[in-house]
Amino acid sequence: MMASLRRSGLLAPSVLTIGALLILPLGLMAYVSTLERGPTGGVIWSQHTTDAYVQFLFERDLTDRLVVNTDYLHIFGRSIVVAAITTAITLIVAFPMALWMAFQPPRRRLLLVFIVTVPFWTNILVRNYAWILLLRNDGVIDWVLGRLGLTGEHINVLYTPLATTIGLTYSFLPYMVLPIYVSLEKLDRRLIEAAFDLGANRWLAFRRVILPLSMPGVVGGAILVFVPGLGAFISPELLGGAKSMMIGSLIQQQFGQSRNWPFGAALSFVLLVLVLLALSAHAARYRREPKP
């Protein structure tokens, strides 16, 4: 009795803080998405409408008829594609890197983890800003390539979806390396030795032993890259141009220039649902698999 009372006391502050300052606001956001937009911005609290969700797929033409408008779907589609490409690239780079790290002597391993972690904890703004310096015309890469005589003209990469992808890949690479590294590092080495003893070459041992056992790390890393990539705001805002807008900037616009809170809230809610779906698919997958 005493113990459970004490436990409740210990749990209360976190429940209250996260409940009042995150869960309640998320609920409010879902509620706002069903409200009528106010004439000068804001919302009319008493009037409900599905306008915000209708607006996502349709627009009114001159004669006030609803016609399908795929602009917003395009932005969502682009965000999903950019996040998926980012996930794929980080995976291709991170796996060999993590594999190499995991088989280093223990002391060096610790140092390598530290080296990979530093950029991850460095301000995201700083990391993306650095890429502006590298990618812009007359920037570092442009200058080096020009010096080498490889490009006659400017590279014109900044403010394209390519620049956004580079920025996101850069920002999220550690998110992919670390989980894969963790799963490879704690992998029972005797299993690999056994594979070698049984005549497997490196490739076979890799394909039949290492790869399957590192899957939790791979899937975890993919989730850690894909989910924030989908809702990314800084990289597309700083590196991508107006023509390569992603969900984050679209949401921000509704609270800035467009002054359309219900639509902004609806977009955020759809994004949140996408993220939760991705996570629960991941959780469900692991619940089904038997624990080793």
Contact positions with another protein (CB under 8 A) in 97-116: 97, 99-101, 103, 110, 114-116
Q: Where does the chain show beta strands of DSSP type E?
A: 35-37, 43-48, 58-60, 66-68
> What is d(CA 180, CA 71) in angstroms, rounded to the nearest whole number?
37
Taking CB under 8 A as the criterion, which residues in 202-221 touch another protein?
202, 206
Tokens of 221: 């890393």
Q: Using the rule CB under 8 A, is 178 a contact of another protein?
A: no
User: Which of 185, 227, 244, 263 is in the footprint of another protein by CB under 8 A?
Assistant: 227
Name which position in 130, 155, 162, 219 contacts another protein (CB under 8 A).
130
Site for another protein contains 11 (CB under 8 A): yes
Q: How many CA atoms lie within 13 A of 112 on its CB side?
A: 18
Torsion sign, CA atoms 221, 222, 227, 228: positive
Q: What are phi and psi of 278, to 5 degrees?
A: -60, -40
According to DSSP, the residues that pair with 48 across neighbouring strands are 35
Interface with another protein (CB under 8 A), residue total: 87
**One residue of 1, 5, 21, 242 binding another protein per CB under 8 A:** 21
Site for another protein in 49-88 (CB under 8 A): none
Binding window for another protein (CB under 8 A); candidates: 55-63, 68-76, 148-156, 233-241 = 233-241
Q: Give the length of the chain.
A: 292
CA distances from 27 to 32, 33, 247, 267 (A): 9, 10, 20, 14
Kindly write down the DSSP assignment for every residue of 171-230, as one continuous string: HHHHHHHHHHHHHHHTS-HHHHHHHHHTT--HHHHIIIIIHHHTHHHHHHHHHHHHHHHH
272 contributes a contact to another protein by CB under 8 A? yes
- Residues contacting 191, CB < 8 A, separation 6+: 209, 213
Give the C-alpha separation, 47 to 178, whole Å: 48
**Which residues lie closer than 8 Å to 286 by C-beta, 6 or more apart?**
216
Per CB under 8 A, the segment of 59-67, 69-77, 148-156, 172-180 that binds another protein is 172-180
Binding residue for another protein, selected from 126, 150, 198, 242, defined by CB under 8 A: 126
Kindly tell me which of 219 and 272 has the beta carbon lying closer to another protein.
272
Stretch of residues binding another protein (CB under 8 A), selected from 53-61, 65-73, 117-125, 211-219: 117-125
Out of 127, 154, 259, 282, name the contact with another protein by CB under 8 A.
127
Write the binding mask 235 to 264 for another protein: x where contact by CB under 8 A, - elsewhere: --xx--------xx--xx--x-----x--x
Q: Kindly tell me which residue out of 44, 125, 277, 284 binds another protein, with binding defined by CB under 8 A.
A: 125
In whole angstroms, the minimum distance from the beta carbon of 67 to another protein comes to 28
Among 64, 138, 148, 290, binds another protein (CB under 8 A): 138
Tell the smallest beta-carbon distance from residue 61 to another protein (Å).
Answer: 29
Site for another protein in 184-203 (CB under 8 A): 192, 196, 202
